[in-house]
Amino acid sequence: MKRGLLEQLAEGPVLGDGGYLLELEKRGYVRGGPFTPEVSLTDPEALAQLHREFLRAGADVLQALTFYASEEKLRTVGLGGQVDAINRAAVEVARSVAKGSDVLVAGNLSLTWAYDPADPASADRVRALFDRQLEVQMAVGIDLIVGETFTWLGEALIAAERAKRTGLPVVITMSFEKGPHAFEGDDAAECARKLVAAGVDVVGVNCLRDPAHTLPLAAEMRAAVPGTFIAAQPTAYRTPDDQPDFTSLPEFPFGLDPLQMTRADMAVYAVQARDQGIRYIGSCCGSVAEHVREMARALGKRPPDDDRSWQQGHDKPMSAYEYYGHEAQKG
């Protein structure tokens, strides 16, 4: 029987998957700009392939691509009537890839762009948006819920409220733009305290910032709620100190390639996160299978290298790898 998220976290680090929308845009399946997730309907095999890559790399959790799959966001590209179909298809694709494995499938909620603390009616509107997604995702079958990329703590708390009603484990992660605080002014520690008080099982930081700008905030959360599991899912793009949000950079979204971190960089991050006591170790935009694979190796979740045989030590080199002594350099 598949072990649940909280059971796995109690035993040690759980490895998340990587980024979806930006990678699928690079592959030609998602429209850059709106970054809406209708690929689950238009090109489900492309989405399935990316899920497979993360599964083969060693991820313990696959997130259904229901990020931005709420009515008001989809309406901006004429897909407001496809909310149910997109959420259903996204979970079905993730479940089909995870079938036969121990990998968990997460439903996903994200910022809606509809939350406005100055408008009391917006809270109920956001509740309805989340409830509609959750109803469909639960009907197909998910193992946990990840709510992510919330810059308003108020919206994150609404996501927590609706997700907790399902009875599934709930992960809620905040995103911090230029300043290390939610839009209301709450710092990372206070966000963690309020989310835990709302019943969230795992709290953390995701997206926008690279590992160097994410881990200190995750550490603040861990110190604030020492009995709660902490998650970190940074972007795999390097961000400067004066502009730590990668989406604010002039390179976003089509010139980010030179800023992408290496697989070795992400492996170092995974070890740092583990040593810091973070249990849900993931990654977000810019992180692809090669990053997740090296993170898995660094965390001891897969062999250090491919275990297929390769005969070396001939009278002469049989590859550039041998010719230039890269194996020796690696050791």
Residue 171 has a pLDDT of 98
* Local structure of 64: helix, strand or coil: coil
What is the Cα–Cα distance from 79 to 90, expressed in whole angstroms?
15
List residues bridging with 63 in a β-sheet. Answer: 106
205/312 Cα distance (integer angstroms): 44
Neighbours of 277 (CB within 10 A): 14
User: Could you write out the DSSP letters of every residue in 134-201?
Assistant: HHHHHHH--SEEEEEEESSHHHHHHHHHHHHTTTS-EEEEE---SSSB-TTS-BHHHHHHHHHHTT-S
Structure tokens given for 171 = 């992960």
Q: Confidence class of residue 303 from pLDDT cuts 50, 70 and 90?
A: confident
- DSSP H helical segments within 71-152, as ranges? 71-75, 83-98, 121-140
The DSSP code for 258 is G
Q: Which stretch of DSSP H or E encloses residue 230?
A: strand 229-233
pLDDT higher than threshold 80 for residue 310 = no
pLDDT of residue 331: 44
- In this prediction, residue 304 carries a pLDDT of 72
**In the predicted model, what is the mean pLDDT of residues 167-174?**
98
Q: What is the mean pLDDT of residues 96-114?
A: 98
Percent of the chain with pLDDT over 70: 98
Residue 288 in this model has a pLDDT that exceeds 90 = yes
309: Cβ–Cβ under 8 A, 6 or more apart, which residues? none
Identity of the amino acid at 197: A
Rounded to a whole number of angstroms, the CA Rg of the chain reads 20
- pLDDT tens profile 30-77: 999 999 999 999 999 999 999 999 999 999 999 999 999 999 999 999
pTM equals: 0.95
Q: How confident is residue 243, by pLDDT bands cut at 50, 70 and 90?
A: very high
SS3 21: helix
Torsion sign (Cα): 168, 104, 46, 262:
positive
Q: Which of 157, 169, 170 is nearest to 126 (CA)?
A: 157
Is the Cβ–Cβ distance between 270 and 297 less than 8 Å?
A: no
d(CA 210, CA 121): 35
Give residue 29's pLDDT band: very low, low, confident or very high (50, 70, 90): very high
Mean pLDDT of the chain: 96
The secondary element (H helix, E strand) that includes residue 46 is helix 44-57
Pairwise pLDDT comparison (262 vs 308), residue with the higher score: 262
Which tokens sit at 134?
């959750």
For residue 328, pLDDT beyond 70: no
Interval 182-194: pLDDT, tens:
999 999 999 999 9
Task: Please choose, from the candidates 201, 208, 177, 205, the residue with its C-alpha nearest in 3D space to the C-alpha of residue 191.
Answer: 205
What average pLDDT score do residues 237-250 get? Answer: 98
Residue 14's closest CA among 132, 169, 142? 169
Q: Answer whether 247's CB lies under 8 Å from 268's CB.
A: no
Give me the helix-helix angle, 211-224 and 188-197, nearest 10°.
50
Give the number of other Cβ atoms within 10 Å of residue 323's Cβ.
10
Domains of the chain in start order, with CATH, are 5-330 (3.20.20.330)
| Measured torsion, CA atoms of residues 184, 175, 178, 73, in degrees rounded to the nearest 10 | -80
- Model confidence at 280: pLDDT above 50: yes
Whether 106 shows a pLDDT value over 70: the answer reads: yes
Q: What is the pLDDT of residue 323?
A: 83
Among residues of the chain, what percentage have pLDDT more than 90? Answer: 90
pLDDT interval class at 306 (50, 70, 90) = low
Give the span between the Cα atoms of 52 and 297, in whole angstroms.
17
Q: Which residues contact 265 (CB under 8 A, 6 or more apart)?
A: 211, 236
pLDDT value at position 252? Answer: 98
Confidence of residue 2 (pLDDT cuts 50, 70, 90): confident
| Rounded Cα–Cα distance for residues 214 and 235 (Å) | 9
